[in-house]
Structure formats: structure tokens, C-alpha cells
Amino acid sequence: MSDIIVNGMSFSLPLFIIAVGGIYSERSGVTNLALEGFLGAGAFFGAVFTALTAGMFAATSQLPMYLSMVVAMAGGALYAVIHAVLCIKFKANQVISGVVVNILAMALTDFLTSQINAGVLGQSSDKFVLNVSTRLTFQPLASLPVIGGFFTNVYPFEFIIIAVAVVAWYAMYKTRFGMRLRACGDNPYAVDAAGCNVARIQFIAVMVSGALSGLGGMCFAYSVFGNFSTSIYTGYGYLAIAAMIFGNWKIPATLGACLLFGFARAAGYSLIQYLGLPGAYSDLIMILPYVLTLLLLMFFSKNNRAPRALGEIYDKGKR
């Protein structure tokens, strides 16, 4: 049970912060299928920073990991500008823009990773190998039955994600900017009539989405995989979108959906080990969160209440 909790949390929390990024974008009215591209691009920038500065830090230092998270957030926000410009400035179809941004991110990061390894680092590889993050165990809490797993082998970035998520929740629900952002997703013309710049609010929301996705992508690179390559984020952006929809575009409910997906994945791996099945069955376990997503959406999608103006191209001249 402890292993399920440890592995479930290390997968659920990065997925959650990516989904929070999606909530920011979609609550502002901009459909965001580009989360996978955002997290991939952000993690790429963070991994490049780590690879290029590896000789500047001690082998056991965790500082590069924390700095790479900052760089990943900046890189994700920068890459998100593409989606923001296409959708807000040029009023492109938001679904098509998101798909194109995802494909572009995968192609670019794959190509650039190989080129940087070959031309700068002198290595023939399609991935950046990262130091594995340290883990923390909190005694005597870790000795408690069942819940002790929440205090055992915890990645430090899990606390960072929780802190960032709390700030994101407060900014969305307790600040004037958050109120305007949510209003943009329901009635942007009313926001414009109140004297606010709808395009600027949406632009910021999409960039926040990119920053949070970049953070989540970097955390996946340091925990689940221990390296960066295009394979580390395949499918996770879409899984975050599913969690966001199942959570009804609300941050606390989305956390519950991400925990459900993460624990289902971790329980599947534990079951494979318990039954002593071949390692090939681990690949089959990868589909569990997606199967669970289909089942949940099948039974609960009728209760979803998306922002009323989600996906609508805002045209100030129509007011």
C-alpha cells in the first residue's frame, strides 16, 4: 500500500499542476489542447539548462533541479505565446492551433535534443540524462499505518507543486484578476464593457498555462523517468485535459481526478509485481488511466459545465 501511495503521488501531482494550467487557459475562454506541447517544451528548456550547466555544480547538488524548474516554467510560458498569438491575435481555430502546437513541440524538441547532444555535448543520444531527485522520509509520520506512505520517499518537488497550486487557486478565486479571468470565459463582452482588456487577460492566462505545464513536465523528467526525451510526455497532456474536464474546470475537483488516475496507475504496477508477471505487462498498465478516463467521461460527462464562452473567438467589434 505504501508503494502505491508513493508512486501514485509522484505521478498525480505533476499531472495536477499541468491540469491547473489548462484550467487557467480554459476559464479565460481559450480552448487549450496544447498542454502536451507546453509541458514538452518547458521540460526541454529545463533539461537543456541542466545539461549545459552540469559541470558547475557538485554531483550530489539538488540546486540544478530547482533552477531547471524555474527555467522550465519560463520556457513553457514562452512557448505558450505561439498558441496565444494564434488564438487571440489572429483568431485562429483554437482546437487546430492546440494540435499544431503539440506536433511542433514534439518535432522540435526531438530534433534539438539530438543536435545539442551531438554538437555541444559530444554525445550520440536522443535524450538528456538527469540526476535522479532525492527523496525525503519524515519520521515518525512515515511509520503510521496506511497514511505513512504520504510521508515516505517524497520528492521535494511535490511540496513545490502543492505550494504553486495553492497560489494558483488563491489567484483565481480570491483576487480581482482571477474574477476577471473567470468572467472572460463566461461573458467576455461584459468584461470589455467594464473597461478591462479581454485579450490581455486571456494572453496572460495562456502563458500561465504554459508555465505550470512546464513545471509539471520538468517534474516528470526528474521523477518518473530520470531523463528528458519526447517519450516522457506522450499522452500526459491529454490525460491532464481529461482530469480538468472530469474535475469540471475546478481546481480541487481536478486534484481528485489526478489522484484517481495516479493511484490507478500505481496500483496496476504493484499488481504486476505481486503476480510476478513479465515486464512486458507494465506497458499494458500504462493504458489504465486512459481506460478509466473513458469510463468516467461516459458516466459523468453529462454533469460537466464548461465555461460558457469557451472556444468562442472574441471579437470586440461585435459588442
pLDDT for res 244: 94
Backbone CA torsion sign across 78, 45, 158, 233: positive
pLDDT for res 61: 85
Beta strands, E only, 43-196? 128-129
In tens digits, the chain (319 residues) has pLDDT values of 677 888 899 999 999 999 999 999 999 999 999 999 999 999 999 999 999 998 888 877 889 999 999 999 999 999 999 999 999 999 999 999 999 999 999 999 999 999 999 998 888 888 998 877 888 998 888 888 878 888 898 999 999 999 999 999 999 999 999 999 999 999 999 999 999 999 999 999 999 999 999 999 999 998 867 889 888 778 899 999 999 998 999 999 999 999 988 998 888 878 777 777 776 666 677 777 778 777 877 777 777 889 999 999 887 766 5
Q: Domain 2-318 - what CATH class?
A: mainly alpha
CB 215 within 8 A of CB 161: yes
Burial class (CB in 10 A: 0-12, 13-18, 19+), 224: middle
pLDDT for res 318: 65
In the chain, where the domains are located: 2-318
Q: Which of 9, 14, 76, 34 is nearest to 241 (CA)?
A: 34
Q: Which of 7, 93, 91, 1 is nearest to 314 (CA)?
A: 91
pLDDT for res 108: 95
pLDDT for res 143: 86
Q: Name the 3-class secondary structure at 131.
A: coil
